Amino acid sequence: MLEVRGIGKAYGEFPVFSGLSFAVGAGEAVAVVGSNGSGKSTLLKCLVGAEVLDAGSVLVDGVARDETSAAFRASVAALLDDADYFPDLSVVEHLRLAAWLHGAADEVADVVDELGLTAVADQLPPTLSSGQRHRLGLAACFVRPRRLLVLDEPEQRLDAQGRMWLRERLKAEKAAGVAVVFASHDEELVLAVADRTVTP
Ligand SMILES: Nc1ncnc2c1ncn2[C@@H]1O[C@H](COP(=O)(O)OP(=O)(O)OP(=O)(O)O)[C@@H](O)[C@H]1O
């Protein structure tokens, strides 16, 4: 589904990674692992087109990924490390918007419930706890159709029960044929979910 060929990225004189290649098929998960500052977030941003590559290419179904293409964006659900929210849209309004944009309004109530957001569904993002805000970002990925799921440290700020839920949810995504790429510092999550690991 996703093929990464010889990609490289530098910030000024500082090379973050180079010559990196890997592939993720439908129903597979690749974990991006490495120490702080090793380039995991940068790699995920390059995959979805939120950062410009200096070298190499990213292909989806054999075709060069074009982040300006509505078809590409319709197939990719991503939660990166710089998620932002409309300050005047409530939790449930954010999710309805994300779902509506992708023609999938039916699952919002179920996802709100699944992510434990029912009690705060009408609150505005600035009034949420950091864990609840992170859950909103995850929920936004699950209320819309997706063939590729890209998550940057999805375990962050989740409590023990939330981490257990995440592990099972990512396994279910794979079982449903979604290709998953996630950066993580959670060894248990990586072992439970990833078919392979990549280090930038
Ligand atoms: N916009 C930017 N401009 C300049 N340097 C940057 C920029 N974004 C990231 N970097 C640098 O690139 C390197 C990789 O950062 P990145 O955020 O990808 O690391 P990471 O592996 O995700 O780290 P962590 O585990 O701490 O989240 C770091 O040295 C960082 O300082």
CATH number for the domain harbouring residue 141: 3.40.50.300
- Could you tell me the pTM of the whole model? 0.95
* Domain assignment present for 8: no
In the 3-class helix/strand/coil scheme, how is 100-140 assigned residue by residue? HHCCCCCCHHHHHHHCCCHHHCCCCHHHCCHHHHHHHHHHH
Minimal-distance CA residue to ligand 1 atom 10: 11
Count helices and strands in the chain by DSSP H and E runs: 7, 9
Mean pLDDT over residues 83-92, rounded?
91
Whether the CB of 36 sits within 6 Å of ligand 1: yes
* Domain assignment present for 47: no
Whether the CB of 65 sits within 6 Å of ligand 1: no
* Domain assignment present for 4: no
Tens of pLDDT along 94-153? 999 999 988 877 789 999 999 999 999 999 999 999 999 999 999 999 999 999 999 999
Q: Which domain holds residue 165?
A: 23-32+70-198
* Domain assignment present for 7: no
* Domain assignment present for 17: no
* Domain assignment present for 189: yes
Tens of pLDDT along 8-50? 999 998 999 999 999 999 999 999 999 999 999 999 999 999 9
Whole-number Å distance, alpha carbon 176 to ligand 1 midpoint, is 32
Whole-number Å distance, alpha carbon 40 to ligand 1 midpoint, is 8
* Domain assignment present for 174: yes
* Domain assignment present for 44: no
Tens of pLDDT along 44-80? 999 999 999 999 999 999 989 888 888 888 899 999 9
Whether the CB of 82 sits within 6 Å of ligand 1: no
User: For position 66, what pLDDT does the model report?
Assistant: 86
- What is d(CA 15, CA 61) in angstroms, rounded to the nearest whole number? 28
CB 143 within 8 A of CB 104: yes
Domains in the chain, number:
1
Whether the CB of 41 sits within 6 Å of ligand 1: yes
Pocket probe for ligand 1: among 9, 33, 38, 182, the residue whose CB has the most ligand atoms within 8 Å is 38
User: For position 68, what pLDDT does the model report?
Assistant: 86
